[in-house]
Amino acid sequence: MKILLLEDDYILADILFHHLKDDAHQVVHVADGEHALDEASANKFDLMILDINVPKLNGIEVLKSIRSYSKTTPIILITAYQDTKHLKNGFENGCDDYIKKPFDLEELNLRINNIKKRFSIENDDTVVINAHTYMIPSRNLLYVNEQEFQLAKKEIEILLYLSSRKKRVVSSEELMQNIWEFEDMPSDATIRVYIKNLRNIIGKDCIKTIRGSGYYFES
């Protein structure tokens, strides 16, 4: 599943991000409501998990905006509020489920599995990049013209991140922050090695270097 995660508590966000990735989900994390709307309008998600109390636009406002053009994408709200007012507001504006802080990861798994059943979301994690290229992230496999390549986990994650942001420049810093944990941050040289390996497989024209800015994916 491709999941949009809106959470401004970076400790909780990091836990959720890596938990969901370990379950073979693709996860895009944002920390404020405006960024969430940008991602929601630019990409198709199977599920959105939105915290209510976040900067710029709160989760309810994000929910309202998304429901104005997308009626079917399932949305789970995260709330620290213990009253029913915010839950009522969430359901009235189109959320499909909610989870109250603090919660354990097993509860989140149960709610996600329930959403998958309700909306008939399949477990197939095949990601199509173009007519000749696709990957299976959970197995770190990439297929180009039906030829199979076994990639390193980080190579798959970089390719996933770049290909889901086609025609937008992605900096090395953005890749580091969204793919690596803080204590394992790589050097720019390491990023360049991964990019070079990917270019050798999928073609040099697919990932372009924008000098001084980052990388640009064009399938």
Q: What is the pLDDT of residues 77-128, one digit of tens each?
A: 999 888 888 889 999 999 999 999 999 999 999 999 999 889 887 655 678 7
pLDDT category, 173, cuts 50, 70, 90? very high
Domain holding 64, by residue range, is 2-118
Q: Do 87 and 147 fall within a single domain?
A: no
Domain boundary among 86, 118, 150: 118
Going through the chain in order, the beta strands assigned E by DSSP cover 2-6, 26-30, 47-51, 75-79, 97-100, 127-130, 133-136, 141-144, 147-150, 169-170, 207-210, 214-217
Q: Indicate if 113 and 137 belong to the same structural domain.
A: no
Are residues 39 and 93 both part of a single domain? yes
pLDDT tens digits along 59-78: 999 999 999 988 889 999 99
State the Cα–Cα distance between residues 152 and 111, nearest whole angstrom. Answer: 31
**What is the pTM for the complete model shown?**
0.61
Question: Considering the chain, what percentage of its residues have pLDDT values greater than 70?
Answer: 98
What CATH number does residue 144 fall under? 1.10.10.10
Distance (Å, rounded) from C-alpha 173 to C-alpha 195?
14
**186 and 104 belong to one structural domain:** no
What is the distance between the alpha carbons of residues 73 and 83, in angstroms, rounded to a whole number?
A: 26
Least confident span in 131-135, 202-206, 212-216: 131-135
* Residue 73, domain CATH: 3.40.50.2300
Which of 118, 140, 173 is the last residue before a domain boundary? 118
**Do residues 192 and 186 make contact, with C-beta atoms less than 8 angstroms apart?**
no
State the Cα–Cα distance between residues 62 and 36, nearest whole angstrom: 7
| 131 and 112 share one domain | no
Which residue, of 118, 139, 171, is where some domain finishes?
Answer: 118
Clarify whether residues 92 and 145 are in a common domain. Answer: no
pLDDT confidence bin for 161, thresholds 50/70/90 = very high
CA 14 to each of CA 28, 66, 68, 111, 216: distance values in angstroms, whole numbers, following the listed order: 11, 24, 30, 19, 26
Number of domains in the chain: 2
Name residue 25's amino acid: H
Comparing 49-58, 93-102, 143-152, 186-195, the range with the smallest average pLDDT is: 143-152
Looking at the fold, whether 30 and 13 belong to one and the same domain comes out as yes
Residue 5 CA to its chain's centroid (Å): 7
Residue with tokens 């999941």: 3
Predicted local distance difference test score (pLDDT) of residue 122: 67
Which H/E stretch holds residue 114? helix 105-118
User: Does one domain contain both 176 and 212?
Assistant: yes
pLDDT of residue 131: 72
Residue 201 sits in the same domain as residue 111: no
Q: Give the three-state DSSP class for 98.
A: strand
Greater pLDDT, 135 or 5: 5
pLDDT over 80 at 143, yes or no: yes
Same-domain status, 30 and 76:
yes
Same domain, residue pair 47 and 73: yes
Calpha distance 92→4 (Å, rounded): 21
Q: Taking residues 156-185, what's their average pLDDT? A: 90
- Same domain for 50 and 131: no
Contact between 7 and 19 (Cβ < 8 Å): no
Mean pLDDT (the chain) is 90
**Is pLDDT of 167 > 80?**
no
List Cβ neighbours of 141 (8 Å cut-off, separation of 6 or more).
135, 148, 149, 150, 151
